[in-house]
A = this chain, B = another copy of it.
Protein backbone atom coordinates (compact mmCIF):
# COMPACT_ATOMS: atom_id res chain seq x y z
CA UNK A 1 0.00 0.00 0.00
CA UNK A 2 1.19 3.53 -0.86
CA UNK A 3 2.43 5.04 2.40
CA UNK A 4 0.39 8.17 1.66
CA UNK A 5 -2.83 6.15 1.99
CA UNK A 6 -1.80 5.17 5.51
CA UNK A 7 -0.88 8.78 6.33
CA UNK A 8 -4.24 9.93 5.00
CA UNK A 9 -6.02 7.42 7.25
CA UNK A 10 -3.99 8.46 10.29
CA UNK A 11 -4.72 12.17 9.75
CA UNK A 12 -8.42 11.39 9.29
CA UNK A 13 -8.74 9.24 12.40
CA UNK A 14 -6.49 11.21 14.76
CA UNK A 15 -6.39 14.85 13.70
CA UNK A 16 -9.76 15.15 11.98
CA UNK A 17 -12.17 12.89 13.90
CA UNK A 18 -10.28 12.58 17.22
CA UNK A 19 -11.20 8.91 17.46
CA UNK A 20 -10.74 7.29 20.87
CA UNK A 21 -10.95 3.73 22.19
CA UNK A 22 -14.52 2.50 22.37
CA UNK A 23 -15.89 5.01 19.85
CA UNK A 24 -18.61 3.57 17.63
CA UNK A 25 -17.44 4.60 14.16
CA UNK A 26 -19.41 4.39 10.90
CA UNK A 27 -17.12 4.39 7.85
CA UNK A 28 -18.99 5.09 4.61
CA UNK A 29 -16.97 3.54 1.77
CA UNK A 30 -17.20 4.54 -1.89
CA UNK A 31 -16.72 1.70 -4.40
CA UNK A 32 -13.23 2.90 -5.33
CA UNK A 33 -12.23 4.01 -1.83
CA UNK A 34 -11.47 0.43 -0.77
CA UNK A 35 -7.77 0.98 -0.20
CA UNK A 36 -8.40 3.95 2.09
CA UNK A 37 -11.05 1.90 3.92
CA UNK A 38 -8.45 -0.79 4.62
CA UNK A 39 -6.03 1.81 5.99
CA UNK A 40 -8.75 3.42 8.12
CA UNK A 41 -9.77 -0.01 9.47
CA UNK A 42 -6.18 -0.56 10.56
CA UNK A 43 -6.11 2.80 12.37
CA UNK A 44 -9.46 2.11 14.07
CA UNK A 45 -8.38 -1.37 15.14
CA UNK A 46 -5.15 0.04 16.54
CA UNK A 47 -7.08 2.58 18.60
CA UNK A 48 -9.65 0.07 19.86
CA UNK A 49 -12.59 1.83 18.19
CA UNK A 50 -15.57 -0.10 16.79
CA UNK A 51 -15.94 -0.21 13.01
CA UNK A 52 -19.13 -0.55 10.97
CA UNK A 53 -18.57 0.01 7.25
CA UNK A 54 -21.41 1.15 5.00
CA UNK A 55 -21.32 1.12 1.21
CA UNK A 56 -21.94 4.40 -0.55
CA UNK A 57 -22.36 3.94 -4.29
CA UNK A 58 -23.94 6.39 -6.72
CA UNK A 59 -24.96 3.47 -8.93
CA UNK A 60 -26.76 1.71 -6.08
CA UNK A 61 -28.51 4.93 -5.07
CA UNK A 62 -29.48 5.69 -8.67
CA UNK A 63 -31.01 2.22 -9.14
CA UNK A 64 -32.91 2.52 -5.86
CA UNK A 65 -34.29 6.01 -6.44
CA UNK A 66 -35.29 5.42 -10.07
CA UNK A 67 -37.17 2.22 -9.24
CA UNK A 68 -39.00 3.75 -6.26
CA UNK A 69 -42.46 5.33 -6.56
CA UNK A 70 -41.11 8.49 -4.89
CA UNK A 71 -42.98 8.18 -1.60
CA UNK A 72 -39.83 7.54 0.43
CA UNK A 73 -40.00 6.57 4.11
CA UNK A 74 -38.70 9.35 6.32
CA UNK A 75 -35.75 8.18 8.29
CA UNK A 76 -36.04 4.36 8.21
CA UNK A 77 -35.69 2.83 11.69
CA UNK A 78 -32.58 0.73 10.97
CA UNK A 79 -30.55 3.55 9.44
CA UNK A 80 -31.74 6.06 12.06
CA UNK A 81 -30.76 3.67 14.86
CA UNK A 82 -27.30 3.24 13.32
CA UNK A 83 -26.62 6.95 13.00
CA UNK A 84 -28.11 7.82 16.41
CA UNK A 85 -25.73 5.36 18.04
CA UNK A 86 -22.64 6.45 16.12
CA UNK A 87 -20.00 8.63 17.78
CA UNK A 88 -18.06 9.23 14.59
CA UNK A 89 -19.09 9.19 10.91
CA UNK A 90 -16.28 9.07 8.36
CA UNK A 91 -17.26 9.44 4.71
CA UNK A 92 -14.63 8.04 2.30
CA UNK A 93 -15.80 9.29 -1.09
CA UNK A 94 -14.60 7.72 -4.31
CA UNK A 95 -16.70 6.19 -7.09
CA UNK A 96 -15.95 5.10 -10.62
CA UNK A 97 -17.97 7.76 -12.39
CA UNK A 98 -18.68 11.20 -10.98
CA UNK A 99 -21.80 11.33 -13.20
CA UNK A 100 -23.23 8.07 -11.81
CA UNK A 101 -26.52 9.68 -10.78
CA UNK A 102 -26.83 12.09 -13.73
CA UNK A 103 -30.09 10.59 -15.00
CA UNK A 104 -31.99 10.59 -11.71
CA UNK A 105 -34.92 12.95 -12.31
CA UNK A 106 -34.71 16.13 -10.19
CA UNK A 107 -38.08 15.58 -8.57
CA UNK A 108 -37.17 12.04 -7.43
CA UNK A 109 -33.82 13.28 -6.14
CA UNK A 110 -35.47 16.05 -4.12
CA UNK A 111 -38.08 13.68 -2.69
CA UNK A 112 -35.30 11.28 -1.63
CA UNK A 113 -33.17 14.03 -0.09
CA UNK A 114 -36.15 15.61 1.67
CA UNK A 115 -37.11 12.27 3.22
CA UNK A 116 -33.55 11.89 4.49
CA UNK A 117 -33.25 15.33 6.10
CA UNK A 118 -33.72 14.01 9.65
CA UNK A 119 -31.04 11.38 9.05
CA UNK A 120 -28.74 14.08 7.74
CA UNK A 121 -29.30 16.26 10.81
CA UNK A 122 -28.58 13.31 13.09
CA UNK A 123 -25.37 12.59 11.22
CA UNK A 124 -24.30 16.23 11.63
CA UNK A 125 -24.56 15.63 15.39
CA UNK A 126 -21.73 13.07 15.27
CA UNK A 127 -18.03 13.81 14.90
CA UNK A 128 -18.39 13.59 11.11
CA UNK A 129 -15.64 14.10 8.55
CA UNK A 130 -15.87 13.91 4.75
CA UNK A 131 -12.84 13.04 2.70
CA UNK A 132 -12.14 11.42 -0.68
CA UNK A 133 -9.78 8.73 -1.86
CA UNK A 134 -8.07 10.00 -5.04
CA UNK A 135 -9.70 7.91 -7.78
CA UNK A 136 -9.42 7.80 -11.54
CA UNK A 137 -12.88 9.32 -11.88
CA UNK A 138 -11.84 12.34 -9.79
CA UNK A 139 -8.63 12.63 -11.84
CA UNK A 140 -10.75 12.64 -14.99
CA UNK A 141 -13.04 15.32 -13.58
CA UNK A 142 -9.96 17.39 -12.80
CA UNK A 143 -8.67 16.82 -16.33
CA UNK A 144 -5.54 15.27 -14.86
CA UNK A 145 -3.58 12.05 -15.20
CA UNK A 146 -4.13 9.62 -12.31
CA UNK A 147 -0.63 9.74 -10.82
CA UNK A 148 -0.53 13.53 -11.07
CA UNK A 149 -3.93 13.73 -9.42
CA UNK A 150 -2.74 11.58 -6.53
CA UNK A 151 0.20 13.95 -6.01
CA UNK A 152 -2.22 16.85 -6.04
CA UNK A 153 -4.69 15.24 -3.61
CA UNK A 154 -2.07 14.21 -1.06
CA UNK A 155 -0.42 17.64 -1.23
CA UNK A 156 -3.81 19.02 -0.19
CA UNK A 157 -4.57 16.39 2.46
CA UNK A 158 -1.18 15.75 4.10
CA UNK A 159 -0.56 19.27 5.46
CA UNK A 160 0.91 20.33 8.77
CA UNK A 161 -2.59 21.04 10.04
CA UNK A 162 -1.55 22.33 13.43
CA UNK A 163 0.66 24.97 11.88
CA UNK A 164 -2.01 25.92 9.32
CA UNK A 165 -4.55 26.21 12.16
CA UNK A 166 -2.26 28.72 13.90
CA UNK A 167 -1.90 30.71 10.70
CA UNK A 168 -5.64 30.72 10.02
CA UNK A 169 -6.37 31.79 13.61
CA UNK A 170 -4.94 35.20 12.72
CA UNK A 171 -7.58 35.73 10.03
CA UNK A 172 -10.33 34.37 12.26
CA UNK A 173 -9.38 36.92 14.95
CA UNK A 174 -9.62 39.78 12.43
CA UNK A 175 -13.05 38.60 11.23
CA UNK A 176 -14.39 38.04 14.75
CA UNK A 177 -13.81 41.66 15.80
CA UNK A 178 -14.79 43.10 12.41
CA UNK A 179 -18.17 44.52 11.38
CA UNK A 180 -18.00 44.87 7.62
CA UNK A 181 -16.12 43.03 4.89
CA UNK A 182 -15.49 44.47 1.46
CA UNK A 183 -14.21 42.42 -1.49
CA UNK A 184 -12.85 44.36 -4.46
CA UNK A 185 -11.39 43.05 -7.72
CA UNK A 186 -11.69 43.78 -11.44
CA UNK A 187 -15.38 42.76 -11.75
CA UNK A 188 -16.28 42.73 -8.08
CA UNK A 189 -17.17 45.29 -5.42
CA UNK A 190 -19.16 43.71 -2.64
CA UNK A 191 -19.79 44.64 1.01
CA UNK A 192 -21.17 42.29 3.68
CA UNK A 193 -21.98 42.74 7.36
CA UNK A 194 -20.37 40.25 9.77
CA UNK A 195 -20.98 42.03 13.10
CA UNK A 196 -21.90 39.49 15.79
CA UNK A 197 -20.91 36.50 13.69
CA UNK A 198 -18.12 34.06 14.61
CA UNK A 199 -15.60 32.87 12.04
CA UNK A 200 -14.64 29.19 11.89
CA UNK A 201 -10.96 28.28 11.66
CA UNK A 202 -11.57 25.31 9.40
CA UNK A 203 -8.49 23.23 10.07
CA UNK A 204 -9.85 19.82 9.00
CA UNK A 205 -10.70 18.73 12.53
CA UNK A 206 -13.89 18.39 14.54
CA UNK A 207 -11.96 20.13 17.30
CA UNK A 208 -12.19 23.27 15.10
CA UNK A 209 -15.83 22.72 13.96
CA UNK A 210 -14.29 21.66 10.65
CA UNK A 211 -15.56 18.54 8.90
CA UNK A 212 -13.73 18.30 5.59
CA UNK A 213 -10.37 16.70 4.85
CA UNK A 214 -8.75 18.53 3.15
CA UNK A 215 -9.89 21.81 4.60
CA UNK A 216 -7.92 25.02 5.07
CA UNK A 217 -10.29 27.97 4.96
CA UNK A 218 -11.71 30.54 7.35
CA UNK A 219 -15.41 31.14 6.95
CA UNK A 220 -18.20 33.15 8.52
CA UNK A 221 -21.86 33.94 7.89
CA UNK A 222 -22.36 37.36 6.28
CA UNK A 223 -25.60 39.34 5.89
CA UNK A 224 -26.89 42.59 4.42
CA UNK A 225 -24.83 42.06 1.26
CA UNK A 226 -24.62 44.95 -1.24
CA UNK A 227 -22.94 45.26 -4.64
CA UNK A 228 -21.67 42.98 -7.38
CA UNK A 229 -19.44 39.92 -7.52
CA UNK A 230 -18.11 37.79 -10.37
CA UNK A 231 -17.04 34.19 -9.79
CA UNK A 232 -14.31 33.34 -12.28
CA UNK A 233 -13.35 29.87 -11.06
CA UNK A 234 -14.97 27.33 -13.41
CA UNK A 235 -17.06 24.58 -11.85
CA UNK A 236 -19.75 21.99 -12.49
CA UNK A 237 -23.08 22.43 -10.71
CA UNK A 238 -25.80 19.79 -10.98
CA UNK A 239 -24.00 18.29 -13.94
CA UNK A 240 -23.76 21.59 -15.85
CA UNK A 241 -20.64 23.64 -16.57
CA UNK A 242 -20.83 27.05 -14.92
CA UNK A 243 -18.56 29.94 -15.99
CA UNK A 244 -18.21 33.55 -14.84
CA UNK A 245 -21.37 33.86 -12.78
CA UNK A 246 -22.19 37.46 -11.83
CA UNK A 247 -24.51 38.20 -8.90
CA UNK A 248 -25.88 41.62 -7.98
CA UNK A 249 -27.10 42.18 -4.40
CA UNK A 250 -29.41 44.80 -2.87
CA UNK A 251 -30.53 44.70 0.76
CA UNK A 252 -28.88 41.33 1.17
CA UNK A 253 -30.68 39.66 -1.73
CA UNK A 254 -29.72 38.74 -5.27
CA UNK A 255 -31.63 41.13 -7.54
CA UNK A 256 -29.91 40.25 -10.81
CA UNK A 257 -27.62 37.54 -12.18
CA UNK A 258 -26.05 36.34 -15.38
CA UNK A 259 -23.39 33.85 -16.43
CA UNK A 260 -21.20 33.19 -19.43
CA UNK A 261 -22.29 29.55 -19.15
CA UNK A 262 -24.76 27.70 -16.89
CA UNK A 263 -27.10 30.63 -16.25
CA UNK A 264 -30.13 28.30 -16.18
CA UNK A 265 -28.67 26.25 -13.30
CA UNK A 266 -27.89 29.42 -11.35
CA UNK A 267 -31.46 30.61 -11.91
CA UNK A 268 -32.83 27.28 -10.70
CA UNK A 269 -30.64 27.41 -7.59
CA UNK A 270 -31.68 30.99 -6.74
CA UNK A 271 -35.37 30.01 -7.11
CA UNK A 272 -35.16 27.18 -4.54
CA UNK A 273 -36.49 29.29 -1.66
CA UNK A 274 -36.11 32.78 -0.15
CA UNK A 275 -32.84 31.89 1.59
CA UNK A 276 -31.31 30.78 -1.71
CA UNK A 277 -31.15 34.44 -2.79
CA UNK A 278 -29.10 35.44 0.27
CA UNK A 279 -25.54 34.57 1.26
CA UNK A 280 -24.96 31.86 3.85
CA UNK A 281 -21.17 31.86 3.79
CA UNK A 282 -18.12 33.95 3.11
CA UNK A 283 -15.07 31.68 2.97
CA UNK A 284 -11.43 32.50 2.42
CA UNK A 285 -9.23 29.70 1.04
CA UNK A 286 -5.88 29.24 2.81
CA UNK A 287 -4.70 25.77 1.77
CA UNK A 288 -1.65 26.47 -0.40
CA UNK A 289 -1.23 22.72 -0.98
CA UNK A 290 -4.10 23.22 -3.43
CA UNK A 291 -2.66 25.07 -6.39
CA UNK A 292 -5.15 24.39 -9.20
CA UNK A 293 -8.87 24.03 -9.83
CA UNK A 294 -10.02 20.42 -10.09
CA UNK A 295 -13.79 20.93 -10.38
CA UNK A 296 -14.33 19.43 -6.93
CA UNK A 297 -15.70 21.79 -4.31
CA UNK A 298 -14.02 19.86 -1.49
CA UNK A 299 -10.67 21.06 -2.88
CA UNK A 300 -11.46 24.18 -4.92
CA UNK A 301 -13.00 26.23 -2.11
CA UNK A 302 -9.96 25.64 0.14
CA UNK A 303 -7.43 26.80 -2.45
CA UNK A 304 -5.07 29.60 -1.43
CA UNK A 305 -5.69 32.92 -3.26
CA UNK A 306 -9.43 32.32 -3.57
CA UNK A 307 -12.55 33.58 -1.85
CA UNK A 308 -15.88 31.78 -2.05
CA UNK A 309 -19.41 32.80 -1.25
CA UNK A 310 -22.33 30.42 -0.83
CA UNK A 311 -25.95 31.22 -1.43
CA UNK A 312 -28.26 29.37 0.94
CA UNK A 313 -27.92 27.92 4.38
CA UNK A 314 -25.50 29.38 6.97
CA UNK A 315 -23.53 27.13 9.33
CA UNK A 316 -24.66 27.14 12.96
CA UNK A 317 -21.06 27.40 14.16
CA UNK A 318 -20.95 31.01 12.86
CA UNK A 319 -24.09 32.09 14.76
CA UNK A 320 -24.70 32.98 18.40
CA UNK A 321 -26.40 30.39 20.59
CA UNK A 322 -30.03 30.17 19.45
CA UNK A 323 -29.59 32.71 16.64
CA UNK A 324 -31.06 31.69 13.32
CA UNK A 325 -28.94 32.61 10.34
CA UNK A 326 -29.92 32.34 6.72
CA UNK A 327 -32.20 29.33 6.25
CA UNK A 328 -32.43 27.40 3.01
CA UNK A 329 -32.65 23.87 1.67
CA UNK A 330 -29.47 24.50 -0.32
CA UNK A 331 -25.90 25.68 0.19
CA UNK A 332 -24.11 26.32 -3.11
CA UNK A 333 -20.55 27.66 -3.19
CA UNK A 334 -19.16 29.88 -5.94
CA UNK A 335 -15.48 30.82 -6.10
CA UNK A 336 -13.48 33.83 -7.21
CA UNK A 337 -9.75 34.11 -7.79
CA UNK A 338 -8.13 36.88 -5.70
CA UNK A 339 -4.51 36.38 -6.71
CA UNK A 340 -4.38 39.57 -8.81
CA UNK A 341 -5.92 43.08 -8.79
CA UNK A 342 -7.79 42.25 -5.66
CA UNK A 343 -8.20 43.29 -2.04
CA UNK A 344 -10.19 42.18 0.97
CA UNK A 345 -10.96 44.82 3.59
CA UNK A 346 -12.34 44.54 7.09
CA UNK A 347 -13.79 47.82 8.37
CA UNK A 348 -11.83 49.74 5.75
CA UNK A 349 -8.49 48.12 6.49
CA UNK A 350 -6.92 45.90 3.82
CA UNK A 351 -6.29 42.42 5.27
CA UNK A 352 -5.47 40.61 2.01
CA UNK A 353 -4.07 42.05 -1.21
CA UNK A 354 -3.50 39.94 -4.35
CA UNK A 355 -3.72 36.80 -2.23
CA UNK A 356 -1.22 37.84 0.46
CA UNK A 357 -2.49 38.38 4.02
CA UNK A 358 -1.40 41.28 6.24
CA UNK A 359 0.18 38.79 8.65
CA UNK A 360 2.36 37.29 5.88
CA UNK A 361 5.72 38.30 4.43
CA UNK A 362 5.39 40.35 1.25
CA UNK A 363 2.09 41.94 2.21
CA UNK A 364 1.75 45.34 0.54
CA UNK A 365 -1.06 47.14 2.40
Q: How close is A92's CB to chain B, nearest CB, in angstroms?
A: 10
Inter-chain contact A42/B54, CB cutoff 8 Å = no
**Considering the complex, which residues of chain A in the window 38-69 have a beta carbon less than 8 Å from any beta carbon of chain B?**
38-39, 41-46, 48, 50-57, 59-61, 63-69
Q: Pick the most buried of A48, A51, A54, A64: most chain B CB atoms within 10 A of its CB.
A: A64
Q: How far is the CA of A56 from the CA of B51 in the complex (A)?
A: 11
If A31-B34, A41-B60, A82-B81 touch, whether A53 touches B50 (CB-CB below 8 Å) is no
The minimal Cβ–Cβ distance linking A196 to chain B, given in whole angstroms, is: 38
Q: Shortest Cβ distance from A72 into chain B, in angstroms? A: 8
Q: Which of A22-30, A177-185, A206-214, A220-228 contacts B (4 or more CB under 8 A)?
A: A22-30
CB distance from A117 to the nearest CB of B (A): 15
Whether B24 and A41, one on each chain, are in contact in the complex, defined by CB atoms closer than 8 angstroms, is no
B48 & A64 in contact (Cβ 8 Å cutoff): no
Chain B CB within 8 A of A2 CB: no
A78-B57 in contact (CB<8A): no
Residue A148, interface by CB 8 Å: no
B79 and A50 contact, CB distance less than 8 A: yes
Cα-based distance from A317 to B73 in the complex (angstroms): 33
| Residues on B with beta carbons closer than 8 Å to the beta carbon of A151 | none
* Residue A194, interface by CB 8 Å: no
In the complex, the chain B residue whose C-beta lies closest to that of A108 is: B45
Task: Tell me, yes or no, whether A85 is within 8 Å of chain B by CB.
Answer: yes
Q: Does A187 contact B (CB under 8 A)?
A: no
- Cβ of A316 to closest chain B Cβ, rounded Å: 24
Residues of B within 8 A of A26 (CB): 78
Chain B residues whose C-beta falls within 8 Å of the C-beta of A48 in the assembled complex: 68-69, 71
The residue from B46, B57, B67, B81 contacting A34, defined by CB atoms under 8 A apart: B57
CA distance A69 to B48 in the complex (A): 7
A54 touching B55 by the CB < 8 A rule?
yes
Q: Does A348 contact B (CB under 8 A)?
A: no
Residue A147 at the chain B interface, CB threshold 8 Å: no
When C-beta atoms are compared, the residue in chain B nearest to A33 turns out to be: B55
The 5 closest A-B pairs by CB, nearest first: A45-B67, A50-B76, A81-B81, A45-B68, A24-B78
